[in-house]
Amino acid sequence: MDDILTAIRTAVIQGNAGEVESQVKAALEGGMAPKSILDHALIDGMREVGAKFEEGEFFVPEMLVAARAMKGGLTLLRPRLIEEAVEPLGRVVIGTVRGDMHDIGKNLVGMMMEGAGFEVKDLGVNVAPEQFVDAAKAGDVDIIALSALLTTTMPNMADVIKKLDDAGARQKVKVLVGGAPVTEAFAQRIGADGFAPDASQAATLAKSLVA
């Protein structure tokens, strides 16, 4: 049984989507527990991808193909995980703030969080503060993750936090911020709960916040 988990994990790291799908199907048909496949193949595989990124061996293209392969496997697993009432590690709502149309970094963060076991709802780009507030008020959200690439749109992150406050929803969620010009100091100044410099570290930070 370990062979098939190793095969899935390797296929995730190589970004081989077809192989991930066929091996996940085979594993399920062979009676393997979906939670095992998730934890020991998909999540472990993405953890390895994150490590390779942090070590400077993997770059954005390799991460994107790996994440896509992981998502293909996850799509097959998801109905079975729901059937067996397997809870995600936490629930994340992510989006690029108003006025900013950039999404590569945000997508990578979402994928790495999904690959770490989170359920991720992606609100897309140019997201109005109210949409984040509505998501937080609707409940069942642990983390709101905000992205910005532009110095001109960074201030809109502070606006989201303020509107969460105004709506009485700030304490219900942890707010993470990231994007090229965003720094730890900026995150602290606007009252965010956390900042990470890259997608891999963002997933690690998210895990620590829901632990």
Partner 1 sequence: MTPKERWLAVLAGQSPDRVPMDYWGTPEATRKVRAHLGCRTRWDMIERLRIDAVVGVGPEYVGPKLPRNTDMYGRRYRSVDYGSGRYVECISGPLENYHSVDEIEANYTWPSVDWFDYSVIPGQIRGRKRNYPIRGGGSEPFLIYAELRGREQAYIDLVEHPDIVHYCLDKLFDLCYENTVRIYEQIPGQVNLSYVAEDFGGQESLLFSPAIIREFFLPRMKRMVDLAHQAGAYAFFHSDGAIRRIIPDMIGIGIDVLNPLQWRSPGMDRASLKKDFGDSVVLHGGVDNQYTLPFGTVDEVQSEVRDNIEMMGQGGGYILAPCHNIQAVSPPENVVAMYEAGWEYGRIY
Instruction: For the CB of residue 15, give the shortest distance to partner 1 in the complex, in Å.
Output: 6
Among 155, 193, 204, 210, the residue binding partner 1 under the rule CB under 8 A is: 155
Selected from 44, 100, 114, 122, the binder of partner 1 by CB under 8 A is 100
With binding defined as CB under 8 A, does residue 191 bind partner 1? Answer: no
Contact call for residue 106 and partner 1 (CB under 8 A) = no
Minimum CB–partner distance for residue 186 and partner 1 (Å): 8
Separation between Cα atoms, residue 127 and residue 136, nearest integer Å: 14
The one segment of 72-80, 86-94, 166-174, 180-188 that binds partner 1 by CB under 8 A: 180-188
Nearer Cβ to partner 1, position 30 or 61? 61
Per-residue three-class SS string for the chain: CHHHHHHHHHHHHHCCHHHHHHHHHHHHHCCCCHHHHHHHHHHHHHHHHHHHHHCCCCCHHHHHHHHHHHHHHHHHHHHHHHHCCCCCCCEEEEEEECCCCCCHHHHHHHHHHHCCCCEEEECCCCECHHHHHHHHHCCCCCEEEEECCCCCCCHHHHHHHHHHHHCCCHHHCEEEEECCCCCHHHHHHCCCCEECCCHHHHHHHHHHHHC
Contact 195, 184 (CB under 8 A): yes
Q: Which is nearer to partner 1, 15 or 117 (CB)?
A: 15
Q: Which stretch binds partner 1 (CB under 8 A): 1-9, 19-27, 94-102, 130-138?
A: 94-102
Contact status: 51 vs partner 1 (CB under 8 A)? no
Position 61 contacts partner 1 (CB under 8 A): yes
Q: C-beta of 137: minimal distance to partner 1 in Å?
A: 23
Q: By C-beta, is 155 or 191 nearer to partner 1?
A: 155
**Binding of residue 134 to partner 1 (CB under 8 A):** no
Exposure string of 86-111, with b = 16+ CB inside 10 Å and e = fewer, is: bebbbbbbbbbbbebebbebbbbbbb
Of 26 and 101, which CB lies nearer to partner 1 in the complex structure? 101
Binding footprint of partner 1 on the chain (CB under 8 A): 15, 56, 58-62, 64-65, 68, 98-101, 103-104, 107, 126, 150-153, 155-156, 180-181, 183, 186, 197-198
